[in-house]
Structure 1
């Protein structure tokens, strides 16, 4: 099914990017996610992939209670916020210039009892990874983070560092270009990857990845 923001009155995708906020309903709560396209560009708006991933998490096929979750390239933070509302302990990460908006969205949308379960931290892929314990996360989330080819090597290094054998990675993305398929090929060289979901209305796909055991057929 197609997935759309909670509030009515959409004026098209382009207009939605320039709205100061996007509204949704997840985990029984209305959410108002601030956006700052003019100041921060692609990191500061809610993309379809984030909505599709959040809806997948809410569906409950993964038990998030007390799970340690890392969101990479969190941007406005919607999937990480939804994971925290569903009981996870979430670390939402992005570049330094995106953190102020990300922190505001976490603060605005989590009730007091859930705020201690969410932390916002700077993470530039491939850099300062020692500040994040190796293999410490049960679940790693990424929505629309596969689009710049020059970031692929650093993203893969980051995934290899933060993932243990038990870690599940969920990547939600729309495969627009050949370079996006190239990233999946690079990922499959290191992880066992399968497609979990294709949302026909948005053409967003969710991929599951786990560190490949030696001798796995990829």
Structure 2
């Protein structure tokens, strides 16, 4: 099942998803991400939440800005479903200098499946852009976030609130994580939520 935006966005609307390249400037670097809507649909286009999520790194407080500042030298894992992995790898190779590429690992991840391929609590910072849209995946997504994060991890989720089910996911998230709204981009109508694992003592 594939979903498209419930209405045409400002500017180019849906046409932007059919452009071969999406260009962004981030941290004094220009990146060009190849898109292929025809072959891979929603898995191979850049959603508005992506650019809002990168912006959120600089508005989420001093601790998170420090994490962001370390990103150029950090080891990063970029995930997607198996069908999109080769396409994802080609974008990584096109945008990262050769000496940085070994620090960026492209790895298969289907929420709720084969989580043993990742060490529990392995990641300090987890970014998710527009991944809250299929209600039947919510339980698996929460399980995945719990597995990948530790009590010290920061999770940033960028999303549009399109339907009531999106609010339902946030309610589910708040039962397992401490959640706050970190940023709102009114131009793109994208919300950024910050989540961290609850301390079990907080519920006593």
TM range (shorter): 0.7 to 0.9
Cα deviation, residue 55, structure 1: 2.2
1:63 aligns with 2:85: no
Question: What are the superposed Cα offsets for residues 50-72 of structure 1, whole Å, 9 maximum, x if unpaired?
Answer: 011112336685223696xxxxx
SS at match of 2:200: coil
CA distance in 1 between counterparts of 2:132 and 2:110 reads 14
More helix by share: 2
Aligned length: 191
Q: Is the 8 A contact 2:57 2:68 kept in 1?
A: no
Aligned residue for 2:6?
Answer: none
Q: Is the 8 A contact 1:126 1:154 kept in 2?
A: yes
Question: What are the superposed Cα offsets for residues 188-209 of structure 1, whole Å, 9 maximum, x if unpaired?
Answer: 0000000000111111011000
Question: What are the superposed Cα offsets for residues 26-49 of structure 1, whole Å, 9 maximum, x if unpaired?
Answer: 222221100011111111111110
Aligned residue for 1:42?
Answer: 42
Cα deviation, residue 114, structure 1: 1.5
Aligned residue for 1:176?
Answer: 162
CA distance in 1 between counterparts of 2:15 and 2:69 reads 37
Runs of 4+ in 1 over 4 A off after TM superposition: 58-61
Q: Is the 8 A contact 2:21 2:35 kept in 1?
A: yes
Give the TM-score, by structure 1 length. Answer: 0.82
CA distance in 1 between counterparts of 2:76 and 2:48 reads 21
Q: Which of the numbers 91, 104, 113 marks the counterpart of 1:105? A: 91
**Aligned 1:138-157 pairs, distance under 5 A:** 138-157=124-143
SS at match of 1:206: strand
CA distance in 1 between counterparts of 2:187 and 2:181 reads 17
SS at match of 1:175: coil
Aligned CA-pair RMSD: 1.9
CA 189–11 in structure 1, closer or farther in 2 if over 3 Å, else same: closer
Give the TM-score, by structure 2 length. Answer: 0.88
Cα deviation, residue 87, structure 1: 2.8
Q: Is the 8 A contact 2:180 2:195 kept in 1?
A: yes
